[in-house]
Amino acid sequence: MQITVNKAQTLKEKPDENNLGFGTTFSDHMLNMDYNPDEGWHNPRIEPYQPIVMEPSTMVLHYGQGVFEGLKGYRNPSGGIQLFRPQENVRRLNRSSKRLCIPEIDENVVLEAIKQLVNVEKDWVPGVEGTSLYIRPTIIATDPFLGVRASFTYRFFIILSPVGAYYPEGFNPVKIFVTRDFVRAVRGGVGEAKTLGNYAASLLAGDKAHEEGYTQVLWLDGVEQKYIEEVGAMNIFFVVGDEIVTPELSGSILPGITRKSVVELGKSWGLTVSERKISIDEVLQAQADGSLREVFGSGTAAVISPVGEIKYGDKLITIGDGSVGPLSQRFYDSLTDIQYGKADDPFGWVVPVSG
Residue type present at position 188: G
Report the largest interatomic distance among the alpha carbons of the chain, rounded to a whole angstrom: 64
Q: Which of residues 231-250 bind ligand COI (CB under 6 A)?
A: 233
256 is a site residue for ligand PLP (CB under 6 A)? yes
Among 301, 317, 324, 353, binds ligand COI (CB under 6 A): 301
85 is a site residue for ligand PLP (CB under 6 A)? no
66 is a site residue for ligand PLP (CB under 6 A)? no
Residues 177, 211 contacting (CB under 8 angstroms): no
Choose from ligand COI, ligand PLP, none: what does 254 bind? Cβ within 5-8 Å by kind.
Answer: ligand PLP
Burial class for 213, CB neighbours closer than 10 Å (0-12, 13-18, 19+): exposed
Choose from ligand PLP, ligand COI, none: what does 115 bind? Cβ within 5-8 Å by kind.
Answer: none
> What size, in residues, is the chain?
355
Sole window of 25-33, 109-117, 142-150, 255-263 interacting with ligand PLP (rule: CB under 6 A) = 255-263
Of 70 and 73, nearer to ligand PLP (C-beta) is 70
Q: Please report which residue ranges of the chain form alpha helices under DSSP H.
A: 59-63, 86-99, 107-120, 196-201, 203-211, 257-268, 280-288, 326-339
Q: Which of residues 234-253 bind ligand PLP (CB under 6 A)?
A: 234-235
Q: Which of residues 53-92 bind ligand COI (CB under 6 A)?
A: 70
Among 27, 65, 97, 300, binds ligand COI (CB under 6 A): 300
We find the least distance from the C-beta atom of residue 68 to ligand COI, in angstroms, to be 7
HSE-up (13 A, CA, CB side) for residue 61: 12
Among 33, 158, 257, 327, binds ligand PLP (CB under 6 A): 257
Choose from ligand PLP, ligand COI, none: what does 325 bind? Cβ within 5-8 Å by kind.
Answer: none
45 three-class SS = strand
Cα dihedral sign, 181-182-186-189: positive
299 is a site residue for ligand COI (CB under 6 A)? yes
Burial class for 235, CB neighbours closer than 10 Å (0-12, 13-18, 19+): buried
Nearest Cα neighbor of 138 from 165, 162, 114 is 114
Of 33 and 254, nearer to ligand PLP (C-beta) is 254
What are the beta bridge partners of residue 318? 309
We find the least distance from the C-beta atom of residue 144 to ligand PLP, in angstroms, to be 29
We find the least distance from the C-beta atom of residue 71 to ligand COI, in angstroms, to be 7
Number of residues that bind ligand COI (CB under 6 A): 5
* CA dist., res. 167 & res. 169, Å (int): 5
230 is a site residue for ligand PLP (CB under 6 A)? yes
Of 70 and 103, nearer to ligand COI (C-beta) is 70
Cα separation values, 209 from 96, 167, 179, 280, Å: 28, 14, 8, 17
| β-pairing verdict for 216-220 and 174-178 | parallel
Nearest Cα neighbor of 32 from 172, 145, 158 is 158
Choose from ligand COI, ligand PLP, none: what does 121 bind? Cβ within 5-8 Å by kind.
Answer: none
Summarize as ranges the residues that interact with ligand COI (CB under 6 A). 70, 233, 299-301
Summarize as ranges the residues that interact with ligand PLP (CB under 6 A). 70, 230, 233-235, 254, 256-259, 298-300
